[in-house]
Amino acid sequence: MTLQELTANNEHFTIHNLPYGIFSTPTKSARAGIAIGNYILDLAKLAELNFFNNPSLNEIFNQATLNDFIALGKAIHQEVRQEILQLLSNDSAFFKEQHPAFVYKQCEAKMHVPIHIGAYTDFYSSEEHASNVGKMFRPNAEPLLPNWKHMPIAYHGRSSSIITTNTNIKRPNGQVLNGNNVEFSPSKTVDIEIELGFIIGKENELGAPINIDKANEYIFGAVLLNDFSARDIQRWEYQPLGPFLGKNFATAISPWIVPFDALNEFIADAPIQLPTVLPYLQEQNRKNFDIKITFEIETSTKQKTTVASTNAKYIYWTVAQQIAHHTINGCNLRVGDLLGTGTISGKEKSSFGSLLELTWNGTEPINIGTEQRTFLQDGDTTILSAICKNEHNQIGFGDVRNRIIS
């Protein structure tokens, strides 16, 4: 088997990517792997075969989360990456002789949430999304609230209900307001939110804010994130303290963590910020990532449509600003913490990042083949995928797909 055979017909997991995940097979328990093409390199087996220079990786890669590996730091991550690149080179005798022992087909593996997520913070970083919501629910006022352009707004989500791809989501029940009556019922307006999630790879001490120009050093990698939302439950409960049951029933992330270093080749200018932000949020080199994210719906009758396509370069508050603001009061971040960008929307309707916006709060149905949708129905499967591409290289996130059930 050659590198060309490994990566054939897969534009996401190229040699320039090498994302980390946790997988299991029918005969082996959950362990660490790297995606290459449509295959998985079993890092635990490679460590058992004494492939790596670092002997501690034998135990670490046999664990069911990546936290301990992430905690080793960037020097070890880069060393492992270089060793894998050498393994996949065309003249690697080790690969030619040993690959049947550590190469698996992705279609034969089960993917798991790759990290233990101790804390999850979801931001509200897209100006277009925040403006759309304001126009819908405060039509006679300014779309953005007075604080929005002064700091990254966020809430703390529920880490226990974070799931990954191919996990069904049960339609949530809760209190909803029907006219003047408060009722208990299944949500009728289950929605998606197109987001990215960033995985914290380095800890700061309690009481020690992270300088914005050092913030990127604290990121291990990124995943796709679908923040499922029950809009009718959320609408009744969110004042005065923000989202609760309308948000905490399911958040899905893609199973492969794209290393932060792999994203640095796909940089885009971030939006200009006016008014000028406070000094602790000012960046010397303000950049976003050029990541095209696509959202599809497949109905229970197998009708499938691309509903929206957006881009991470639209984010107003960068991940560095999110980290700097999150810690400015002395809050400590831990390895494996997850920071969501919030819904990513562009200026055009086709780039809106939620059904709430795409259907304008249910008043403008979208077509899925011969069917129509305002919000998700039972049996619908949501599919998020993402690609980064320039004139030289290409990498992707794979996808995260989840089905709504009753």
DSSP secondary structure string for all residues of 82-114: HHHHHHTSTT-HHHHHHHHHHEEEGGGSEEE--
pLDDT of 6 over the 90 cut = no
Q: Which CATH class is domain 3-112?
A: mainly beta
Across the range 372-398, mean pLDDT stands at: 97
Cβ-contact 373, 380 below 8 angstroms: yes
The boundaries of every CATH 3.90.850.10 domain in the chain are: 120-405
Residue 360 confidence class, pLDDT cut points 50, 70, 90: very high
Residue 44 CA, distance from chain mean position: 25
pLDDT of 112 over the 80 cut = yes
Right CATH for 120-405 from 3.30.365.10, 3.40.50.1820, 3.30.479.30, 3.90.850.10: 3.90.850.10
pLDDT tens by residue, 142-164? 999 999 999 999 999 999 999 99
Cβ-contact 310, 194 below 8 angstroms: yes
Across the range 124-153, mean pLDDT stands at: 97
Give 88's contacts (C-beta < 8 A, 6+ positions apart): 3, 6, 15, 36, 95
Burial 32-66, CB ≥16 within 10 A → b, else e: bbbbbbbbbbbbbbbbeeebbeeeebbebbbbebb
- Catalytic choice (129, 150, 325, 392): 129
Across the range 41-49, mean pLDDT stands at: 98
Write down the pLDDT at residue 92.
Answer: 86
Give 105's contacts (C-beta < 8 A, 6+ positions apart): 38, 39, 40
Cβ-contact 254, 11 below 8 angstroms: no
Residue 14 CA, distance from chain mean position: 19
Backbone angles phi, psi at 12, to 5 degrees: -85, -50
pLDDT of 1 over the 80 cut = no
Q: Of 242, 199, 193, nearest to 339 (Cα)?
A: 199
pLDDT tens by residue, 295-350? 999 999 999 999 999 999 999 999 999 999 999 999 999 999 999 999 999 999 99
Told to judge if 129 belongs to the known catalytic residues of this protein, a careful annotator would answer: yes
Report the SS3 class of residue 313.
helix
Percent of the chain with pLDDT over 70: 100
Across the range 368-390, mean pLDDT stands at: 97
Across the range 107-116, mean pLDDT stands at: 98
Write down the pLDDT at residue 4.
Answer: 78
Return the amino acid letter for 19: P
pLDDT mean across residues, the chain: 96
Across the range 21-50, mean pLDDT stands at: 97
Residues in the chain: 406
Residue 31 confidence class, pLDDT cut points 50, 70, 90: very high
The boundaries of every CATH 2.30.30.230 domain in the chain are: 3-112
Rg (alpha carbons) of the chain, rounded to whole number = 21
Give the Cα separation of 366 and 225 in Å (integer). Answer: 22
